[in-house]
Amino acid sequence: MTKINILPNIAFFDSSQGGLTVWENVLKRFPNLNTQYLGDNARCPYGNKSQETITRYASEATLYLASRNALLLIIACGTASSVAAKELQHLFKLPIIGIVEGFCKFVASLLQDKTRTVAVLGTKFTVRSNRFNEELGANGVEKVWARACPLFVPLVEEGISQGPMVDAACDMYLWDIPEDTKVVMLACTHYPRLTLPIAESLERRLGKTVIYKSIDGDWVLKLGSKEQNDPIYLVESSLPIVNFVEQFIVSNQYENILNHGEKQVLCTDSPEQFESIARFFTSIPLPKVEAVEIQT
C-alpha cells in the first residue's frame, strides 16, 4: 500500500456515520487535533454480519488508516469494538482502543450499588457477543440486562430522531426493562441521537427522572412522575474515549505534533450521501468528504 504524506493523526473508524458522535466529542476537548475519520458505509450495517466478516472489515480499515500516519485508532463502533477490538490489538502494533472496556469501567464507577441493574442497548451482534456483559462483570456489576434495538440505526440514518415511529420503537424495546435499572448504556454510536425519546420511554415505563451524562456535563432529559430521589443515568461512550485520548497525548508527549487542526473525513461509497446523513451526527463543519477504496 502506498505511503501517503499525511500529518500524524488520531484515526476514527466506524461502519458509517455514527462514530462521528465520538469524533465530535473528542474535537470539543481538542479542537486543533489532527484527525481522520473513516466510515465504511459501502458495507454498513455491521450489526447483522458474522464475526469473521466484521473482523475482516475492521482489519482492512485498520491497515488502511495505519498507512495514513495514524498514531492511535479509535474503533468508534459498538459492534466492531465488541467483536474485533481484542483481535486487532493482537494483530497490529498500532495502539487501538474500542468503546467497550473504558465504557464499562466508567459505568461501573457510577454504580455505587453493584447489585443494581445496568441496561445495555446495542445492535444484534453487540448483544449476542456478550462483550458488555463480560466487561461489566469484570468490573463488579452483578446484573446486566441487554437488549438489541435493530430499528434505531435505520431510523437515525433516515434523519428520524423523534415522532411516533421513534416513540413506538423505544417503547417496544424498553417495555420490560427491570425496575431496579440504574444506568442505561447506549452501546451503539448512532443511539445518542435518540437520547430524548429513550429518556421519555424510560420515564413512561419506570416513572423516574432520567439524567444524561455527557462530555458537556449532566443534563436532566426527563423529570420523573414518581416522587423519589433515584434517577436513572443515560450514558454514551464518548466520555471515557475523550479521557483516554487526553491520557494518550500527554503520556506520549504528542501535544506539539497533533495540533495542526487537520481534519479528513473518508467514506467507502457515495460521499454526497454520506455527508447528507453525517449532519445528523455532528455539528462540527465537515471537510470535503472523500471516497476511498480499501484494499481487501
Task: Give the pLDDT confidence score for residue 2 in this predicted structure.
Answer: 45
- Is 44 tagged catalytic? no
Please indicate, yes or no, whether residues 67 and 106 belong to a single structural domain of this protein: no
Query: Is 77 one of the catalytic residues?
Result: yes
pLDDT at 1: 45
In the set 44, 104, 170, 188, the catalytic residue is: 188
Q: Mention every residue, 6+ apart, whose C-beta is less than 8 A from residue 187.
A: 78, 82, 99, 103, 120, 121, 122, 123, 126, 132, 237
Low-confidence residues in the chain, pLDDT < 70 = 1-4, 227, 296
Q: What confidence score (pLDDT) does residue 49 get?
A: 87
Range of the domain at 135: 101-236
What is the rounded distance in angstroms from the CA atom of residue 206 to the CA atom of residue 224?
8
Please name which of 104, 240, 130, 244 lies closest in space to residue 183, comparing C-alpha atoms: 104
User: Listing from the earlier edge strand, what are the strands of the sheet with 35-39?
Assistant: 96-97, 70-75, 9-14, 35-39, 263-267, 290-291
Has residue 287 been placed in a domain?
A: yes
265 and 227 in a common domain: no
The predicted structure's pLDDT at residue 296: 64
One domain, residues 66 and 172: no
Residues 117 and 95 grouped into a single domain: no
Cα maximum dimension of the chain? 63
Same-domain check for residues 110 and 212: yes
Q: What pLDDT is stored for residue 239 in this prediction?
A: 87
Any domain includes 273: yes
CB distance 22 to 48 below 8 Å: no
**pLDDT of 4:** 58
For the chain, the domain total comes to 2
| Entry pTM | 0.85
Residue 211 and residue 120 share a domain: yes
In a shared domain, residues 186 and 108: yes
Confirm if 190 and 212 have CB atoms less than 8 A apart.
no
Catalytic residue among 77, 149, 170, 267: 77
One-letter amino acid for residue 167 of the chain:
D
Which residue from 46, 18, 15 is spatially nearest to 277, judged by alpha carbons?
A: 18
